[in-house]
Amino acid sequence: MKNKFSQTMQDFSRAVITPVKFMAVMGLFLAISVILQLEFMPSFLQTFGGLIKTMMDSMLNNLALIFCIGISASLAKKKKVEAALISLMAFLFFLAANNAWLTLTNQIADSGEMGLFGTGQAIVLGFQVVDMNVFLGMLVGCIVAFIHNRFSEKEFVDFLSIYGGSRFSFMILIPVILVIAIAMSYIWPVVNGWISSLSGFILTTGLLGVFIYSFGNRFLIPTGLHHLLWMPFCFTALGGTATIGGQVYNGAANIFYAEMANAGSITSLDPSLRFATFGFVKIFGSIAVSLALIHCAKAQRKEEVKGMILPSMFVASVAGITEPLDFSFLFASPLLWLVHSLLTAISETILWAVGARTYMLYGLIDTVVSNSVFSPSVTKFYLVIIVGILMSIIWYFVFVFLIKKLNIKTPGREDEIAEDLVLENSSPNQIIADSGERDYDLVIEGLGGKENIENISNCFTRLRVTVKNEDLVNPAQLEKISLQKGVVLKGTNVQVIIGMGVQAFKDSVCEKLGISEA
């Protein structure tokens, strides 16, 4: 049972990495768009940068769908294209059913000045539904993969054959998704209610309230529930009320904007500002985490990891968009995400305790521009720099310690030591050239024959196989494979270390077995 659970978690982690890698590309182009839109850039470049930003936003705002398709296709053992197509339809079914049920039962939230932020609902692909963020994509993707793997091979007699195979798993999914869509109409609002109930406690408990607010605002990001914390505090009377220039303003952000418009008469900033400092982690925390991830990557993968992490770090710290960086380590280790959230909470609590009164809602650009209208004696921005440097150092060493001590598989650390030399000394072309029919036969024989092979996949360098009966596996046969650099047996999970050309090797084995992944 323990091995099966461990294998399931490994499979899920590998599935999640698929869309995360594409987010690294998104982060790169977001960083480019930020640079192109700087004030000193020519107007045509600023326009071009805005177009790139709009394109990347379309991905950023639909991560749930991207995760759904990526996870279902990655977890599918066979017919991956059909699994991906089914997951797309299942996701759309959820949206339609959830929206229809919310409408039917009069649960549709009304839009306020800030739209649906803080209501627990959101517009996803044109449907107003419960706001589950990427959690929805992960939930639907996993359900689709589970049902697809169990029922996609079921066939019927000739005149019913159209309903067999993947269509049968699709038929099963329709009522399942309907039930889940209705259930989430009631389950998610309860979760939302728990978050909202923290508001009163946060308001009345001083520094402890700041700590809880900061922690929740970071920790809840993958679920989308963080909107229920920061939006009401920043844009409604829940975050505070102040009279400025003879007019009443509600919410930490609104009050600060009003103070900006009256900067000449402001000698101290409103206490509601304590709810508008979560840009600190985006600026300082992102830099520290990025450097830690790069430092902990294996030597031969540092350049690869730099290419993935540095653009994400830039767009997180400068523009305040942290998702590409967050998802690069969140799923690799929920523990790191918990620690990241705790360090965020500690930082913001210290900032308020030492007297910093700096508005930091987004990234570095917004922070500098917004606070520049006030005297440093008002914002105490120098305290932010001091605390930022100290906490960045702590952040960095805590992450490095945990990653190495617990051997967490962050980017660039996914494979075991035995594969390091393989990565350095092999190339895909060499693998393809050296592979022969005998190697493929040895794989099949060593795994106990075609009938004993349940699933074949691969990571960067390993052929990963799940067998039905581990007693039929013959390690001696597998070790005769000319390309293998090691064999690892973990119950019904068999791993053969091949090298960087393992993808082509796996495809050839699948062709030999007559297995079609599509």
Q: Active-site residues: which are they?
A: 459
φ/ψ (deg, to 5) at 498: -110, -50
Long-range contacts formed by 335-339: CB under 8 A, 24+ apart? 335/402, 335/406, 335/408, 336/399, 336/402, 336/403, 336/408, 336/410, 337/219, 337/222, 338/219, 339/398, 339/399, 339/402
Query: Where do we find the tokens 């077995």?
Result: 513
* DSSP class of 472: G
d(CA 498, CA 245): 71
Count CB-CB contacts under 10 A for residue 438. Answer: 11
Q: Are 240 and 250 in contact (CB under 8 A)?
A: yes
Token pair 């970071």 is at which residue?
Answer: 218
C-alpha distances out from residue 209 to 213, 215, 233, 391, 460, Å:
6, 10, 12, 20, 45
Answer for the pair 215, 342: CB distance below 8 angstroms, yes or no. yes
Pair 363, 321: CB distance under 8 Å: yes
Cα angle at 237 between 356 and 370, to 5 degrees? 40
